[in-house]
Amino acid sequence: MEMIDKETKLQQQQQQQHPESDNKKKRFPVSNSRLPQELVDKLKHGDAFHRRETCFTLNLILQFFFQEKRFEAGIMRWVTNMLTLEFSELLKHKALSKFIHSMQQEVKMAEGIQGRIRRRRVFSERKDILNMYNDAELVKRYRLDRAGILLVTDFVRDAITPPTGRNRAIPAELKVITTLRYLATGKMQLCNGDDIGMTQQAASKMITQTLDALVTPPAAFISRFVKFPRMQDEIRQRKAEFREIANFPEVVGAIDGTHIRIVAPREYEAEYINRKNYHSINVQVVFDARYRILDVVAKWPGSVHDSRMWNECGLKEGFENGTIPRNCHLIGDSGYPSQPWLLTPYLQPRTEIQEAYNRAHKRTRCVVERGIGQLKRRFHVLHGEVRVSPAKTIQIVMVCAALHNLCKERNLDLPDEPDIDQQQLEDRPEEPNHIQPFVPDGVQGGILYRDNFATLHFQPEQ
C-alpha cells in the first residue's frame, strides 16, 4: 500500500510539472505496471553479491532492450522511475545506486537523440528577386538589370542548374543573384543569405559554385568580356579615344597595379605582405579611355613588384611576338620598365619636350586610376578586406572585371558615390617607393624609343 502511494504521489507531481505530456504518460502507465516480483525480492532481500549480480544482469537485458527500441525515451523513463520507487531505501548500496544513475543518463541521452530526430526542417521563404524589383532597383542592389542577370545566368546555367527539383532545389537565377549581391556589397555571407531567404551555408555553396562556373573555360564568360583589341578597326578607335584626353598619340591602353586586401593566408603568409604592410593580391589591369578593362592579371601575392608582373604576363609576350600590331602602346607609371610598347614618364625632365610629354602622359594615365576606382566602387567586395582564400579571391577579381565590362556594355550607372577627382590625380606626385627597383634587359632601347617618340610628337609650338 505504501508503495502504491509513492507511485501515485510521483505521478501527480510529474503531471503538475508537465501537464502537456499526459498523452505520453498514458502510453507508459506507471501505476499499472510493476517490476517482476522475483527481481524485486532478489534486489531487496539478497546479499550484496546477489544484488551486484542482479544489477549486472538487469543492465545487460535493458541495454539489449533499448537498442531494439532506441528512441523510445518513455520506456527508459518508466524503468528509471520504477527502480527509484521500488528501491529508494536501498540507494545507499553502491551497485544499485550506480546502476540507477547510469539509467538516468541513458534517459537524458535518448531524449536528446529523440528530440533531434523529431526536429522538422524549416524552410525560409525565398524571395522572387527578378519580379520584386524593377531594373533601377536591381542595378542598385545587384549592379545588373534583369536582362543582364539572365545573360550571366545563361553562361553558367548548365553548370549550376540542379539535376533534379527535389528538396526545394535552388534555381540557377537565384544562385547568380546571390553571387552578384555578395560581389556588390562585400557583406558577410550570412547577411547575403538573409537578403534572399537562405542560410549562410547555402549562400556560401551557391557563391562558390557560381564563381567556379564563371571562371572555367567552358563558360567563356571572362574571355567574352575581357579581351585586348587586335583588329585594326578596334585599335584605331581606342587610339582616337585616348588622344581626345590630352593629345597623347598611339595609345590603346593604360596599365597599373592595384592591391586587393585579403585576410592572412594559412600558407606562405610573408609573400602576401605588400609594401604598405598588409596582406594582399597584386592585380595588374589595363583600361581603355572609356574605362573598360582590356586585360587583367590576378595571380600574384602582394610582395611581387609591378615590373615583375609585367615581365611575366601574356600581354607583353603578345607585343614581343607580334600578335599585337605595331604602333600600339601602353602607358604606365615609373614602376614599369620603359619599352618600345610601354611608355613611362621622365623622372627628371630636362627639356621642354620632355615636360610636355610628361604633362600629357600624366593626364592620359589617370584613366587607369579612375578605372580602378570605378571597379572597386561598383563591386565593394574589392574595396575592403576579402575574407576568403587567395585562390577564391583571384576568382572574385576576374569575375568582377568581366562584370564591370558587362555593365559598361549595357550603359549601367555606377552607385551614387563621389568619383575620383581628375585634378587630384594629375597633381599627385610619383610615389618614391613605386619607382622601378632595377633596370632589366632591354630598358636602354626603351628609353631611346621614348626619346624619339617624345621628340616626334611633343615638339613645342612655334
Quick: pLDDT tens for 408-449: 999 998 876 555 555 445 455 554 444 444 444 455 678 899
pTM of the model as a whole: 0.71
pLDDT value, residue 184 = 93
45 — pLDDT class (breaks 50, 70, 90): low
For cell 550484496, the residue is: 48
If one counts every other C-beta atom within 10 angstroms of the C-beta of residue 168, the result is: 9
Query: Is 53 in contact with 61 (CB distance < 8 Å)?
Result: no
Instruction: State the pLDDT confidence band at 33, using cuts at 50, 70 and 90.
Output: very low
Task: Give tens-digit pLDDT for 291-325.
Answer: 999 999 999 999 999 989 999 999 999 999 989 98
pLDDT attached to residue 229: 93
pLDDT for the residue 445:
77
Q: Which amino acid is at 386?
A: V
With a cut of 70, say whether residue 462 has pLDDT above it: no
Query: Rounded to the nearest 5 degrees, what angle is found at the Cα of 129, between the Cα atoms of 128 and 134?
Result: 125
Percent of the chain topping pLDDT 90: 52
Q: Per-residue pLDDT tens for 163-190?
A: 877 777 889 999 999 999 999 998 887 7
Most confident of 6-15, 29-38, 202-211: 202-211
Domain boundaries, the chain: 2-118, 129-219, 229-457
Identify the pLDDT of residue 57: 59
Which segments of 119-188 does DSSP mark as H helices, in order? Answer: 129-132, 135-142, 146-160, 172-185
Q: Kindly indicate the confidence band of residue 88, based on its pLDDT and cuts at 50, 70 and 90.
A: low
Grid cell for residue 272: 602576401
Interatomic CA distance for residues 329 and 327, integer angstroms: 6
Query: What pLDDT, on a 0 to 100 scale, did the predictor assign at position 163?
Result: 83
How far apart are alpha carbons 385 and 405 in whole angstroms? 23
